[in-house]
Amino acid sequence: MKNLRIKSARAAKDLSQGDLASIVGVTRQTIGMIESGEYNPSLRLCIAICKALDKTLDELFWEV
- Give the number of domains in the chain: 1
Q: What is the CATH number of the domain that holds 55?
A: 1.10.260.40
Q: What is the DSSP string of the chain?
A: ---HHHHHHHHHTT--HHHHHHHHTS-HHHHHHHHHTS----HHHHHHHHHHHT--HHHHH---
pLDDT tens profile 2-60:
889 999 999 999 999 999 999 999 999 999 999 999 999 999 999 999 999 999 999 99
Predicted TM-score of the model (pTM): 0.92
| Domain residue limits at 56 | 4-61
